[in-house]
Amino acid sequence: MENILYPPEDTWSGLCKRPLLDVPNLDKPVREILTRVKVDGDKAIRDYSKQFDKVDLEDIRVSPQEIEEAAGLIPAKLKKAIETARKNIEKFHRPQVCGTDIIETMPGVRCWRKNVPVDKVGLYIPGGSAPLFSTVLMLSIPAKIAGCRRVIICTPPDQNGKINPLVLYASHITGITEIFKAGGAQAIAAMAFGTETIPRVDKIFGPGNQYVTKAKEMVQAEGVAIDMPAGPSEVLVIADDSADPSFVASDLLSQAEHGPDSQVVFLTDSSELLLKVRNEVENQLRELPRKSIAGHSLLNSLTILFRDINECIGFSNKYAPEHLIINTKDASELAAKVVNAGSVFIGRYSCESAGDYASGPNHTLPTNGFAITYSGISVDSFVKKITFQEISAEGLGKIGPAVEAMAEAEHLIGHRNAVSIRLKKIPPSRPPLSRGRLSPRGEGVY
C-alpha cells in the first residue's frame, strides 16, 4: 500500500482517481459478441460457452431437477445462514414500497404518483472461483418485493455444464425458476435481445468482469436499461487511535480479496495506528487463501495520514467510496457528515462483510466515484414511477389563466389554446343556494 503523509487539499483529486489497469480495447470484441448473439441466438450462446467456459451445452435452461438436486448439496448450517440473510434483506427492503398519496395542489387539481414494477428483469450472477450467491439474494428479493412479473437469472456454467448449487439454492428460496447457463458478454446480449430460449428483458442488473461491464454499457446505448455504471469493488476505512488495528486490517483485506483490480483506502489522524495497521495487514495477508489476489490489490491501494479526522471525512466525501467504514470514538457524529458513499458502516463492530451478506441493506452499490450521483440497489431500482393528474372544471378555472400566460410567453399558442377552448365551454358557476340559519329555537330561518 502506498503511504501518503498530510496531502494538501489541492492534491486530493489526483489521489481519488482509481488505478488504471492495462485493459485492452473491448469495444470491437464485445460488439462482435452482441451482434452474433442477436443474429444466431442459442447457437451463439452454445458456441461461446464452448469457447470461454470449455463446455458443450445440451440445454441452456437449468432444469427443475437440477434446482431440486442443488438443495440436497447445501449443508444445514449454511442453509440456516442463508435463511438469516434472506429474512434480514427482505425486512430491510419491504418498507421501501411506497403508497399512493393524492396531493391536491389547488382546489380541483389532484395529482399523484404510482409505482409500477418493471415487467421483465434479468439478473447476471458471476461464476468463477467465488460464485456470488449472495448477489442472488440482493437482487432477487427487491425484484420480487417490487412485483416484477418475470425475473430471470443468467450465470456461467462450469466445465461439466453445471451451475454452482449455492446459486441455484439461493434462486430457489427467492422464488426464481428461470435460470440459464450463460456467462460473460454473451449473457448480457441474450437478456438484451432475446434468443430462442432466453427471454428479452427490460432491465439488466448485476456485477461482472470488464467484458460484462462493457456489454452492459453497449446495450444501454441500444435502449436496454441497466442498474448502474460498474467498476471494481472498493472500501475506505476511517479510524482514529481508539480503533483496534486488527479490525481495520481485516476490513481492508476483506475487500482486497475481491479481485486484483479492487482498491482499499485507509485514512487516519494517528501515525501510531497507521504503522500498526500496516503491520497487521502484512500478518493477516499471509494467512489468506486468496493472498495473491489481495496482495495485487494492495499494490493499488493507499494509506493516508491526515492532521485531523475532519480532513479524513472531507477526503472521503471527495473519493465517494462504494463502502465506507467509520471506526472512531465519535463514529455516529462523523457519519452525519457523510454526503458521498454507497453504504456506511458505523462503529468498531460494523464490518463491511456483514453488509455483503446478511445485515439487510443491499450490497449492489455504486463504485468508481459514482456514489456522488448514484444510489445502491433498492426496491426503487425495480419500479418506474408514473405520475397522474386529474383536473376538474373548477380546477381548470383556477389554474388555466396561469397556464395561458406562461404558454403565451413561450410563444406556444397551441398550448394556450388547449386551455382557452376548454375555459370557454365551462358552464358559469352558480352561487350556492342560501340555506339560512336556524333560529335559536329551531323555528325556521332568520
Catalytic residues: 322-323
Residue whose grid cell is 453497449? 218
Q: Can you read off the three cell numbers belonging to residue 360?
A: 439487510
Contact 321, 342 (CB under 8 A): yes
Going edge to edge, which strands form the sheet with 150-155?
Answer: 178-181, 150-155, 120-124, 203-205, 225-226
- Report the phi/psi class of residue 256: left, alpha or beta, with left for phi > 0 and alpha for psi in -120 to 50: alpha
Whether the CB-CB separation of 301 and 263 falls below 8 Å is answered with yes
- Check if the beta carbon of residue 186 is closer than 8 Å to that of residue 45: yes
Answer whether 166's CB lies under 8 Å from 193's CB: no
C-alpha Rg value of the chain to the nearest Å: 28
Q: Which residues are 48's β-sheet partners? A: none
CA distance 89 to 91: 5
Place of cell 342560501: 434
Alpha carbon distance 275, 432 (integer Å): 83
Q: Yes or no: say if 367 and 230 are a contact pair by the CB < 8 Å rule.
A: yes
DSSP string across 87-108: HHHHHHHGGG------EEEETT
Which grid cell sits at 316?
472521503
Residue indicated by cell numbers 444501454? 220
Identify the CA nearest to 364 among candidates 166, 141, 159.
141
Q: Dump strand ranges (E) for 335-445.
A: 343-346, 383-391
Cβ-based neighbours of 242, under 8 Å, separated by 6 or more: 328, 329, 348
